[in-house]
Structure 1
Amino acid sequence: MRTVRDIIPNALSLSRIPLGMAFLLLYSTSEAWRFWSALAVAMLALLTDIADGRLARRWKVTSDAGALIDGLGDKAFYVAVYLVIAANHAAESLLLWALIFREVALYALRTIDGNRSQNTKQLRWASLAYAFVIRMYFLYFVLAGWFSVTQRPVPFPIGYGFLFGYVAAIFGYIGLVKLAQQITERSGLRG
């Protein structure tokens, strides 16, 4: 019989889907209340991302399905942020397309990965590097939005924060290629 402890981590993961939609609908630098509301939604999404895995491990209710649900929640929120960035920084559209495609391709590979737990352990370094750098990219975007909302000039270093997106893409695609290699090697598809 399923208990509340079995459900809460996955519910937290799935909550990032509507939180992503709320972020997408709320974000604006032309109205301060919308910017701050979107920022609050993003903070809530970050808290759910931290809490879901920790609770699942603490309560010993981890599962492959839970890991996929966590990834789905992450990707839903990431894509919402990418769409908001694209709407506000059209020059980054190609980068954002590459980041969105990476999310879709990674999720597809993970669903067909018959050796998911071993591959996840071996590629954890790439996942952690990507997660750190993509969050720095998101932070740059939030800081740029804050300067816009408060009508302050953007300091020199923050103007180059978009480079975090390119570094994230590099780590993301390294991990994606390595995962694809491992899957094809283990499945015998490689000649």
Structure 2
Amino acid sequence: MNLPNKLTVMRMILIPFFVFFMLAPYFEGYGNYIAVAIFIIASLTDMLDGKIARKYNLVTDFGKFMDPLADKLLVCSAMICLIEKGQLAAWIVIIIIAREFIISGFRLVAADNGIVIAASYWGKFKTVFQMLMVIVLILDIPNPFFAVLGTVLTYIALALTVVSLIDYIAKNKNVLKEQK
């Protein structure tokens, strides 16, 4: 297994630890900081594995499948934890997760037709803003600036989620027409 794939697997392994520290009542006042540190480390592996894979020509089928899955699991787990903690509205998370299911379905149909659909810049921006939103919301710093920042990042992430979905469907609508 190459380094990018090991980083992807590490990100998957970190998810249960992240969730534990987010939700466990044993770490009064410190759980969120441990969780955000784990989330940041996991998010950085997302950036690193892709750069390393492309730079050193280490792109694999495993990586093509597992890297986006690991990203979705990490971010969706974080957002579900934030619903549990009352820091994020469920309707926002439903829209974001629905987008992920729709895109995953598109990718499955495309793969079945021998077409590989790469992530767009809109999708990459969406992921960055979702990760920034999660970090700010987890930190939950009792300061009006951070409260506004969390709200702004949430709505930017939501808008980018919708824009990236529309862009993705518009650019790849032929995939549905080209079914076997």
The answer, yes or no, to whether TM exceeds 0.5 is yes
Deviation at 1:68, TM superposition (A): 2.4
Percent identity of paired positions between Structure 1 and Structure 2: 19
Letter in 2 for 1:132: V
- Mean Cα deviation higher: 132-141 or 28-37: 28-37
Q: 57, 60, 79: which is aligned to 1:60?
A: 57
Per-residue CA deviations over 1:75-118 (Å, capped at 9, x if unaligned) read 1101110111101126611111111222222222223225434x
Q: 9, 12, 33: which is aligned to 2:7?
A: 12
1:180 to 2:176 alignment: no
Letter in 1 for 2:99: R
> How many matched pairs?
172
Q: 83, 87, 90: which is aligned to 1:86?
A: 83
Measure, in 2, the Cα distance between the counterparts of 1:156 and 1:20.
Answer: 30
Identify the residue that residue 143 of structure 2 maps to in structure 1.
155
1:111 to 2:108 alignment: yes
CA contact (8 A) 1:16 1:76 kept: no
- SS of alignment partner, residue 146 of structure 2: helix
Q: Which has the larger radius of gyration?
A: 1
Give me the TM-score of the superposition, normalised by structure 1: 0.77
CA contact (8 A) 1:127 1:172 kept: yes
CA contact (8 A) 1:75 1:103 kept: yes
Identify the residue that residue 133 of structure 1 maps to in structure 2.
129
- Which 5+ residue runs of structure 1 have no aligned equivalent? 148-153
Measure, in 1, the Cα distance between the counterparts of 2:175 and 2:94.
Answer: 30
Measure, in 2, the Cα distance between the counterparts of 1:80 and 1:188.
Answer: 33
CA contact (8 A) 1:109 1:179 kept: no
Measure, in 2, the Cα distance between the counterparts of 1:129 and 1:109.
Answer: 19
Give me the TM-score of the superposition, normalised by structure 2: 0.81
- SS of alignment partner, residue 58 of structure 2: coil
Per-residue CA deviations over 1:11-70 (Å, capped at 9, x if unaligned) read 211322221221111115861332232122112202311221122123211145422211
Per-residue CA deviations over 1:127-171 (Å, capped at 9, x if unaligned) read 232123212212321331xx3xxxxxx222222222322221221
CA contact (8 A) 2:87 2:137 kept: no
- Mean Cα deviation higher: 125-134 or 25-34: 25-34
Deviation at 1:72, TM superposition (A): 0.7
Identify the residue that residue 158 of structure 2 maps to in structure 1.
169
CA contact (8 A) 2:75 2:130 kept: no
- SS of alignment partner, residue 84 of structure 2: helix
CA contact (8 A) 1:13 1:52 kept: yes
- SS of alignment partner, residue 116 of structure 1: coil
